[in-house]
Structure 1
């Protein structure tokens, strides 16, 4: 694959130039349209004043036709201009992501934040500066939710992860198609709402509208009434009672019985979203793919009669267009004469009967494609990152040169955990990198289970259930202190370790809300219990006395540490993980840096 930055810059420049040229053409066309209208009206008026009526009407007709053609041309150019603007923004955003400016992206997934989730808060999956904000390009309701699901509900099926890896790899290599697919959703005028209401609407249909007698009556009555009306207007041989009787009958049919307004308005409300779904499905269905996962998605895009999904969605979009302007005062007469509402209901119920039950699957497919495309960004932008190996023969994690994916200049470290030595005790001074290391492994596991590449040169892992206890705070609304909130999280981890054999935990400075003696005793008992249950994980601590557990556990618990060094009376960190217990401290030095007087012998 080509260098991402060069490709993004080239395409952003290309679409910026196209947009600029279209803007000039549109401005020129606006002037031509105005001149055409004024000139046509002026000439028509001149010939009318000179008693050349035929010329006047001819020029007026020509002016109207020309003006309408120019308006249509103008609208088409506007649409192309909007597309080019969206494409430019897509590539500009890609450049910002690559340059580390992604924290300015508007969608940070704040609505997905959940303090009760086992790990999402501690691993920065949602919110400002989160994994979601970094990679998400999904615009539909289903796409955002699918990406959230993959980040928070890792699959238990290894084969499924491997299939997603292949799909993400293929989509990463199809940049132009992927960006066009995502751009279709960005053409929406506003946020794409949840489709749940229209999905529920599509699941059931009213058979009464599809009865042969109803179909014949609704089709025939307007023809008879309009025929009598035209005959009445064109000849004196037909009494006005004939068309009037037809109008009265149709009015009674239209305004009595079932209430159709709610159903019709519901579909019209989703008109813009339906059109977006149609375009996205068409992009996907007209493209050939090689990966099994993408092929399987395509197989589900047909209705009962094996017609392509995008054509059926297009048909629903056309019906939604026909429902427009129902509240217009002029529409009332058209509605009565043609039984328009009932005609639309017949079309809708017929569509639901044929395709309604498949709508859920079609929209889910769009959501999966958006989520896959978001994850494919990682593969394309970071081609030196590795696609993780998901192992089944043994539980464990092996990582070589692993860094934090959200840090632009991450320091990389090696890690290895298995059932025999499955708990790492990380010590080190303040700000040395202990918490970051825990989050580094946690967020790379999340990416691995989602099918995405991870920030490492080598990475393999088994399927593990992740639990964390890192950021714990008071909950004043529930009258819960931070210490008690921490106990609740730890209880969740302990309970899970008693019932599952694949628990992976990350604990950061546990029991910090109590005295040092109780903290030491509590932490030791907890780590021993988790080790005995077979859980694997990492624990960061300032409590150096816990280092004795490596010998006591016969290296089922292993010690690692970070260190700092001083240069020119300044503190520095290299963030490199080393075996053994920490031998340095910096708290008093940092206190002195804060302006507090500290005796030299205390440093």
Structure 2
């Protein structure tokens, strides 16, 4: 890049950093101010209690009983009001604390400290995946660790799915690009959406049990006879009870029989308590989903992808999802009263459990089947927000052009997304030269280049921007063979594991021309003659099948393929230079076969004497 371009990129980066710094400072000040208010409120609450109690005692001792009761009542009202106010401020304090931490984390990410983030996605690592392990999608120092802000179980899974199962439809990718671009410009909204998820007690817990519970309802409680009985019977019993206390015309047997009948009803049905306890168990998780959906549904978006997600949240009556979930959380609050010491009496008098079950089953019948879809929408938003931070943090990166035709991969100034200051290169793979053969000495940058192209393709297919000035590609199925390990449990050697991976690529190329492969030093586990012969046959076969890709190798003899294939396979290389008995690399890609070797030099640097 030119010096002017570098300067523009640096300015854009500093703007993003300064924006995070200002917001972190803003929420830090608000948090400190609120903490001071809470401390003063705690002191005021104590003072009200002490002064109220003292006033009550003094007035009572002076035989001003009515005044004493008045002071006690006023003290109780003020104290309860202060308790609720204090609790509301504590909730706000927690929210501000999370927002402050969100911006602090964003600054750490920009500063390159993201490798310390706890969620590395190690539970998603899959040695059998076509490219995930080789391209560092999951694990320590991975793409997932760098970008993820997903907090919920489904949100993490959705981000994994987007990274490992790219769509084959260009239009889907373009719509997702539009959504990610719009979300990247809504920094405050993204951070508040994230804060809601972080406030959950157990956001990483699977919602499968909750979804299954919501989708299964008991129609017994929705029958007209049950509804009528549950509403009328408590009213009749209460009426007899009041008549018994206030008149002499009604025998105690009438209310007693009603209470005994209602007690018998409550004692029948063993599953009733489990059903009610389940909604209370899911209460906190449900409340978090409500808040996240409310954040989304009350926000206006232009992107068609986001608008479609929002439209899918409404029920057949047009009510938004967060209002429907709010009804469920309200029911959960009512059910929570079952733990109250006075609940048994209230339950018998009103058939409280039955009333709650009727409301609960009615909710499940109407909205329960949609809960899974609502949670999946939240998951999609969490994944898109994770990808949006790439655009927000790196405004100098480009939005890739996804083409439907087999146009190959063309990039200008492409760099490794996970490196802080990557060296950028230009490259082009197209119909005239669909395979690049990369040669060069040890540590010169061959493997890094392969991962650079692979990772940027992954990002392009997610809809995110890529680390390049320009990037154009078609939609390919990506396959890699780079880090192949022994599998002792399956009794598979690294060489055999490599053959299995190569077989997978060859079979895919026979079935689909839209294949992009990355091969790093293939057939390492055999002798040089067989390695050279095998690599030559494989590369020729992949080229003939129409597959595109890149191969790194130390076998300079493979460079003959360029002439033999009329430049359908093209040679590029990296080189090193020496200065003051030190070896240096510029990591710049050049045309042609490598003309330098550094193995013996590195051996001498290791202290091994080499006879000349």
When the two structures are superposed, what TM-score results if normalisation uses the length of structure 2?
0.95
The CA distance in 2 between the partners of 1:369 and 1:110, in whole Å, is 22
Aligned twin of 1:73: 85
Of 530, 540, 556 in structure 1, the residue corresponding to residue 542 of structure 2 is: 530
Structure 1 length as normaliser, TM-score? Answer: 0.97
- Report the alpha carbon displacement of residue 237 of structure 1 after superposing the two structures with TM: 4.9
> Are 1:402 and 1:456, in contact at CA under 8 Å, matched by a contact in 2?
yes
- When residues 588 and 233 of structure 1 are mapped into structure 2, their CA distance, relative to the original with a 3 A threshold, is farther
**Partner residue of 1:440?**
452
Stretch deviating more after TM superposition (124-133 or 328-337): 328-337
Alignment of 1:129-208 (within 5 A): 129-208=141-220
> What is the CA-CA distance between 1:234 and the residue it aligns to?
5.1
Cα distance in 2 between the residues matched to 1:309 and 1:224:
37
Instruction: Give the secondary-structure state (helix, strand or coil) at the position aligned to 2:489.
Output: helix
Partner of 1:472: 484
Q: Name stretches of at least 5 consecutive residues in structure 1 with no aligned partner.
A: none
Q: Partners in 2 of 1:230 and 1:57 — Cα distance?
A: 29
Match of 1:104 in 2: 116
Matched-pair contact (CA < 8 Å) for 2:406–2:514 = no
SS in 1 for 2:601: helix
The alignment status of 1:64 with 2:62, answered yes or no, reads no
- Distance in 2, matches of 1:97 and 1:8, equals 11
Deviation at 1:328, TM superposition (A): 5.0
Contact 1:400 1:459 survives alignment (8 Å): yes
Shift, 1:405, TM fit: 0.7
Q: Is contact 2:202-2:285 (8 Å) kept?
A: no
Deviations 1:213-240 (A, max 9, x none): 1111112222222333344455555433
- Which piece of structure 1 moves more, 365-374 or 116-125? 365-374
- 1:19-30 residue pairs with structure 2 within 5 A? 19-30=31-42
Written as runs of structure 1 = structure 2, the 5 A alignment for 1:396-407 is 396-407=408-419
RMSD: 1.6
Q: Give how far 1:559 is off.
A: 0.9
Q: Distance in 2 between matches of 1:366 and 1:529?
A: 45
1:312-461 → structure 2 map (5 Å cutoff): 312-461=324-473
Structure 2: distance between partners of 1:375 and 1:502:
25
Kept in 1, the 8 Å contact 2:439–2:553? The answer is yes
Cα distance in 1, alignment partners of residues 319 and 437 from structure 2: 59
Distance 2:557 2:199 in 1: 60
What is aligned with 2:9?
none
**Could you list the runs of 5+ residues in structure 2 that have no partner in the other structure?**
1-11
> Aligned runs of 1:9-48 on 2, under 5 Å?
9-48=21-60
Report deviation, 1:83: 1.1
Aligned mates of 1:336, 1:536 — CA distance in 2: 74
Q: CA deviation at 1:258?
A: 5.4
Match of 2:316 among 295, 304, 322: 304
How many residues are matched?
600
* 3-state SS in 1 of match to 2:338: coil
Q: 1:76: how far off? A: 0.9
SS in 2 for 1:260: helix
Are 2:20 and 1:5 aligned? no
- The structure-2 alpha-carbon separation of the partners of 1:574 and 1:39, relative to structure 1 and needing over 3 Å to count, comes to same
Which of the residues 484, 495, 507 maps onto 1:483? 495
- Which of these residues, 267, 272, 282, is aligned with residue 255 of structure 1? 267
Q: Is the 8 A contact 1:429 1:587 kept in 2?
A: yes
CA distance, structure 2, for counterparts of residue 346 and residue 538 of structure 1: 63
SS of the aligned residue for 1:321 comes to helix
Of 221, 229, 240, the match for 1:228: 240
Equivalent residue, structure 2, for 1:589:
601
State whether residues 197 and 203 of structure 2, in contact with CA within 8 Å, keep that contact through their aligned partners in structure 1: no
